[in-house]
Chain A
Amino acid sequence: MSETSAGGRALHRMLLHRRDSIGSAYQILTFESETPIEVAAGQFAMVRSETWGHAPLLPRPMSLLTGGHRPSILIKVVGEGTRRMAVSSSGEPFLLLAPLGKPWSAVPEGHRPVLVAGGVGVAPLLFLARELLARGGLRPLVLYGGRTAADLPLDRDLSAVAELRVATEDGSRGEKGRVTALLAAALSEAGGQSDPVKVYTCGPQAMMAAVAGICADRGVLCEVSLETPMACGYGVCLGCPVARSAGGFLYACTEGPCIDAAAIDWGRGDGAAVVPAAALIAGGKVGA
């Protein structure tokens, strides 16, 4: 499946430059890369510390927040891999296999981008928002949801590059409720045919399924960044199948992670039904 994935991927050894906490639950790991990693917004890396030995065994798929000489990832502890990352020290040697997967596709001509984020799903969307501003001088609308005010990492970074609207389930920040309500409202404000929108979303599976459903109902283009367990990240383990709307499976690592929401069979629920909810909310892209 390498034919379908972006070129230039390589295994890069790099040291952890710094680890920054965001509240009690989230951290940003920033690495120091001698060679710049050419990453497009939405691509991911398989991340593993050389200190892990045989356990944890597998690298963790993580959306990249930045590339270049300072690649970075946003993590929340959900399992052994992220727990180890969360206590890693500056100077610790890591292996990053990157860049992997399909990036976000371009905003179609004449369309307005609306970004819908949940939890650590914010990482590839902040990357996208920064690119949209830097390359097109565009401040996109970003709708950002979390359980509480503490579950909105990088919200200030988003505010710097986007028009940010926030919802929390407990009402501790922004609107009380779910981010999907913000989306429905935003799409109703939009002027239909004369003001077409393209939605980009990343977050818990249930959130993305709901976003995809709202967009499908209204005929709005929607692109999602898939999250699944993954062992290799480059198309050989076949551990990351997602039900395809046309039948069969697609593989999140090479055909995604960024993909048209219409390509996914959200209703079949094969994947969603067996992925532990906590793992999905916590993101990275794998539940450990």
Chain B
Amino acid sequence: MSGADLSVQVGTLTLKNPVLTASGTFGYALEYDDFFDVTELGGICTKGLSLLPRAGNRPDRIAETAAGMLNAIGLANVGVEAFCTEKLPKLRQRGVTVIANIFATTIPDFVTLAERLDREEGVAAVELNVSCPNVDKGGLEFGVDPGAAGRVTAAVRKATKLPVWVKMSPEAGDLRGVGIACQEAGADALTAINTIRGLSVDVRTWKPRIANRTGGLSGPALKPIALRMVWELARAVNIPVIGIGGVATADDVIEFMLAGATAVQVGTASFADPLAAKKALDGLASYCGERGIAARDLIGKMAAA
């Protein structure tokens, strides 16, 4: 790796580089031990954690679509307690920068989750999932309404000393309004975007291809929309925006940063190639090294048309 300075500042948190992995696409990071040293990454976002373990939706949960995929996993996860006792100690020992993604259906439960994680060493930030499209209750409602998004952010802000990131829904009619509300409520950063709800139907059986009927669209198909939203959001708020949506390569990372992202999350690409995030990071290092620039020099530097 070249000597370029890749570090970026997300509020009070310094990340060694801007390449993170997205919640729900990287497990609890321990699954990658066979593939590469995940401490090289800027950080990892855990699978969405809830107060109690969740089994998730019935199958089928995934379906591939053109240059993308739909998923309706239903936030299957081990629960915050098992995460803290079984996963986090190993991540802490390895020195992984851990962003704990949390999910709840009520504000008090979000608060309880944040308080629980606040007691643990080795959590760098919490990311509020207020934008999951695949659960009956509590997913999208918080994320599409500026008032509700602000209330949940403010409540979590009071409950923890950890940096608070809020994951934006692309389905918010007023994305900038939601982002500004979160910023005013004390969010340290905004993650944009979560998946967009889609549908795919099997023409042989006439059934939806996933049991939940609709699922969240991710992958390269999402990227231009995500870029546009990151660009709009970054100009509307003063806090860092973490770009996500179809990031698979170093070029994608650079594109998101030029559009205004301070860091990025690699998601679905890790399914196709478990080394995708590392390859993107190595490519970013070469790009910056060759140009004699620091990664942070890219942020928001998209030129005039």
Contacts and interface: CB of A to CB of B under 8 A. Distances in A.
A160 to B, nearest CB: 35
Given A234-B274, A237-B62, A239-B61, A8 B34 contact: yes
A285 B61 CA distance: 15
Interface of B: 24-27, 30-35, 47, 55-56, 58-64, 66-69, 71, 73, 76, 202, 204-205, 207, 210-211, 219-221, 268, 270-275
B59 A238 contact: no
Nearest to A232: B271
Interface of A: 1-3, 7-11, 48, 54-59, 80, 95, 97, 228-232, 234-243, 248-249, 270-271, 274-278, 288
A236 B34 contact: no
Nearest to A270: B58
Contacts of A275: 59-60
Nearest to A8: B34
Contact of A1 (B27, B210, B272, B274): B27
Given A2-B31, A271-B60, A238 B76 contact: yes
A11 B35 contact: yes
Given A232-B274, A236-B25, A274 B60 contact: yes
Contact of A235 (B31, B69, B268): B31
B77 to A, nearest CB: 9
Contacts of B205: 276-277
Contacts of B30: 2-3
A229 B63 contact: yes
B62 A239 contact: yes
A138 to B, nearest CB: 33
A46 to B, nearest CB: 9
Given A249-B56, A276-B204, A241 B61 contact: yes
Nearest to A286: B64
A100 to B, nearest CB: 10
Please classify the interface of chain B as helix (H, G, I), strand (E, B), loop, or mixed, using the class held by over half of its residues.
Answer: loop
A254 to B, nearest CB: 9
A54 B220 contact: yes
Residue of B34, B207, B221 with most partner-chain A CB within 10 A: B34
- Which residue, B47, B62, B66, has most C-beta atoms of chain A within 10 A? B62
26 contacts: A2-B30, A2-B34, A54-B67, A57-B220, A58-B69, A59-B271, A80-B64, A95-B273, A229-B62, A231-B69, A231-B271, A232-B270, A234-B274, A235-B31, A236-B27, A237-B71, A237-B73, A238-B24, A241-B56, A241-B58, A241-B59, A270-B211, A271-B59, A274-B60, A274-B211, A277-B205
A57 B31 contact: no
Contacts of A241: 56, 58-59, 61, 76
Contact of A228 (B59, B64, B66, B220): B59
Nearest to A241: B59
Contacts of B211: 270, 274
B291 to A, nearest CB: 26
A2 B73 CA distance: 19
Task: Give the 4 A-B residue pairs with the shortest CB-CB distance, closest first.
Answer: A239-B62, A236-B27, A54-B67, A231-B271
B62 to A, nearest CB: 4
A237 B34 CA distance: 17
